[in-house]
Structure 1
Amino acid sequence: MGVTDTGRTMVLTLNAGSSSVKFAVYGGGEGQARLVSGMLEGVETSPRLSAQDADGKVLVDRQCSLTGDSDPHLAAIDLLMGWIDSHLGLDALAGVGHRVVHGGPDFHLPIRVDARTLGEMERLMPFDPLHLPACLGPIRALLTAHPDLPQIACFDTAFHAGMPDAARRLALPRRYDAAGVRRYGFHGLSYEYIAAWLSAAYPDLARGRVLAAHIGNGASLCAMQVGRSVATTMGFSVLDGLVMGTRPGALDPAVLLYMMRQEGLGADDIEKTLYHESGLLGVSGVSSDMRTLRQRENEPDVREALDLCIHRFTEQAGAMIAAMGGVDGIVFTGGVGEHDAAFRAEACARLAFLGVQLADEANLARREVISAAESRVRVLVRAADEEATIHRHVRDCLGDHAKRNAG
């Protein structure tokens, strides 16, 4: 099997999206290393389960058929837990940690889930009807199938909960804020990981002003001072801020009124346009995938999409830096931020007026530090690892629970 451990010491992390479930299993020995990483893709169409161990050895990679449950997401969890049971044994799991996209106005810390707290999270559906069902489905399935298995919900919005009131409030009548309609920010588990990594690896920078850039199919920026979020580009939803793969980012609300009045679009059609047909895909008419766009960047529409992406990055990076009163470091993370040297080079060239200078060779080689020695701002690259953050929260919550029981 390639993976062994003893006792009820392992932790499973689940990051469930609308069509996939990303998972990892951590051991309970010294260092609590990641033992398995995997993905269940194409949940609603043609499911494919893949996983590898810490050495990169493939443990499974096969097409699957989901049967027995009318909800494919719940059937997918049954399939995944069955595979984990056959390879590791469910009795080895001490707990399961979940990424939950939206914590609403009340969930600011990781929380152990029971039927009551699940019901409270389900009442947040109006805040994110597109993503929360996928996040909460696995929790509900595991509560039913494995009620004694501890589950911890970790919220993507929690890292931004301490933002100043001026950074989170919307300029709407106060009744909306009272109902929870405000700026929340997202990618918080990724930013929390970056903050912890900086604290360990670059403590002087962690104590300063850092622009963290999570750039992928979904993208946002976070202004971090002393490791805490003081501003971020995403707001009430994941639609706000930067140009993304299929989302437009910041948008004049009157555009939505135009869609309603001139095109007769209803909420469902507008939602489809904003979440699935806009951004890089909508402008280029080619793809939402930056790798594909780089191969065709000489085509006018593709070039326009790429230029718009960088232009919006520059605008909003300026806003985040202004919120901190300057910048000491920039960290690129996420799929594009980690792998696209051209994006990093173009973005940093726009920030050269701040004293940002890249070392071209280091940038192309994707070294950890890619800024030139003479740069006034350090620029770093770090792979996103939301699972590591979830794993830490599960360990902490289980430890706190054990202490309370012992007391």
Structure 2
Amino acid sequence: MNIFVINSGSSSLKYQLFRFPAEQPLCSGLVERIGLENSIITHKVFPATEEEQVVRRTLALPDHRAGLQQVLQLLTDAEIGILRAPGEVEVVGHRVVHGGESFAATTIITPEVKHEIRRLFPLAPLHNPANYLGIEVAEQIFPQARQVAVFDTAFHQTLPEHAFRYALPEELYREQGIRVYGFHGTSHRYVAARAAAYLGQSEARLITVHLGNGCSIAAVRGGVSVDTSMGFGPLAGLVMGTRSGDIDPSVIFHLMGQLGYDAEQVADLLNKHSGMLGLTGNSDMRDIGHALEAGDPRAALAYEMYAYRIKKYIGAYAAVLGGLDALIFTAGVGENDALVRRLACQDLGFLGIQLDESVNALRAPGLREINHPESRVKLLIIPTNEELEIAKQCAELLGVNM
């Protein structure tokens, strides 16, 4: 079965093509700067017996439809194409960020499902409209394919009520849906499943730490999410590239009441100008790492704050789980920044966490252990693969043997 996975952003389109049950993609790509005259397409093909082929094109793409049409041309190209015709795509899997309480599982897209995704726009105004646009365009380009939605929030719909409710008047939950939803669920689900399989423990108590430009952490027991750091929106929890993470709400009142900020300015400040960017002037951990090496005290403090917040959540979630079998680091920073991992695990021996610093400092591909042999808790690096997880959920929904 050919499954085409789309992650549609406001001005970008990421994609991968899988031929299940094989889990290695046939091709992948990224369309950037949609709507501008200098849009960029980077398309990679992974032949079975040759090195990957890379095609880069700069051209004017006025909208997502034009971008996906160009992708289709590459997919069916006479020389590097994977498909003979668009009809060979049997399923299109879409990443949809917010499913609210309506969607706790992967879902075949129907007019009713599309209506509900539109209704949820206010809960994810930066993401759901772009995801919805990807669905609309894919329906036009691949009219014969079944369209499937995979929701980032779905994995966290298993949170117990005492974990997902806020201590606010009940009508704000019942009538307005104000509660913890959590995000990065596709990534947390993928690495948790891989960790459980690696450990051979279906009921494993896991903490999964997703550290990219956006960061979140989840407590997972037996493959089920029981708590997570992001909340009603993706702002809460860990310190992130440009987002503040947890903050005393009184700061917001002060910004508005004493400093003259309006609601839009506060949202812009906390989402786009805070986090590591606010602390150091940079949002990319690689740049902050270079500044740290050069002796920048702001970079040193930022690293300490970033790791300290992770450590606090590790302790809290170990308590929630009643113990811990494995701690998993994933996503760009989690997989590649040895210092973050070292600082986050420092002085956690009382929880059974002992990092092997020499192994942690090494770079190596794939799933690997970085714990000391005497550590009671496994410390794992597991590269995330959200596109593969989306494809797997589509295949599972449609009964494809894997």
2:235 paired with 1:239 = yes
Aligned mates of 1:303, 1:385 — CA distance in 2: 30
2:302 paired with 1:302 = no
Give 1:392 shift: 1.1
8 Å CA contact retained: 1:73, 1:134: no
Give 1:62 shift: 2.3
- 1:127-276, aligned counterparts within 5 Å? 127-178=123-174, 179-204=176-201, 206-276=202-272
8 Å CA contact retained: 1:109, 1:158: yes
Q: Cα distance 1:345–1:102, how it changes in 2: closer, same or farther (>3 A)?
A: same
2:39 paired with 1:42 = no
What residue is the counterpart of 1:33 in the other structure?
Answer: 24
Give 1:169 shift: 0.5
2:54 paired with 1:59 = yes
8 Å CA contact retained: 1:221, 1:320: no
Structure 1 counterpart SS, 2:208: strand
2:350 to 348, 353, 356: 353
Segments of 4+ in structure 1 off by > 6 A? Answer: none
Aligned mates of 1:399, 1:51 — CA distance in 2: 30
Aligned mates of 1:187, 1:83 — CA distance in 2: 30
Give 1:145 shift: 4.2
Counterpart of 1:389, as a letter, is E
Structure 2 counterpart SS, 1:296: helix
What residue is the counterpart of 1:3 in the other structure?
Answer: none
Deviations along 1:244-287, one digit per CA (max 9) or x if unpaired, are: 000000111222222222333333222221221110001112x1
Q: Cα distance 1:344–1:239, how it changes in 2: closer, same or farther (>3 A)?
A: same
2:343 paired with 1:343 = no
Unaligned runs of 5+ residues in structure 1 are 1-8, 401-407
Give 1:310 shift: 1.1
Give 1:82 shift: 3.7
Give 1:351 shift: 2.2
What residue is the counterpart of 2:70 in the other structure?
Answer: 79
- 1:385-404, aligned counterparts within 5 Å? 385-399=385-399
2:365 paired with 1:374 = no
8 Å CA contact retained: 2:10, 2:127: yes
Structure 2 counterpart SS, 1:375: coil
Structure 2 counterpart SS, 1:263: coil
2:283 paired with 1:291 = no
Deviations along 1:44-77, one digit per CA (max 9) or x if unpaired, are: 554221122336513312223113xxxx344433
Unaligned runs of 5+ residues in structure 2 are none
What residue is the counterpart of 1:363 in the other structure?
Answer: 360
Aligned length: 386
Structure 1 counterpart SS, 2:218: strand
My pick for the range that moved more, 321-330 or 12-21, is: 12-21
Aligned mates of 1:74, 1:357 — CA distance in 2: 51
Give 1:185 shift: 0.9
Q: TM-score, normalised by structure 2?
A: 0.91
1:98 to 86, 94, 101: 94
Among all aligned residue pairs of Structure 1 and Structure 2, give the percentage whose two residues are the same amino acid. Answer: 37
Counterpart of 1:84, as a letter, is L
8 Å CA contact retained: 1:27, 1:35: yes
Give 1:38 shift: 1.8
Aligned mates of 1:135, 1:200 — CA distance in 2: 31
Counterpart of 1:161, as a letter, is Q
Aligned mates of 1:215, 1:385 — CA distance in 2: 13
Counterpart of 1:301, as a letter, is R
8 Å CA contact retained: 1:189, 1:386: yes
What residue is the counterpart of 1:20 in the other structure?
Answer: 12
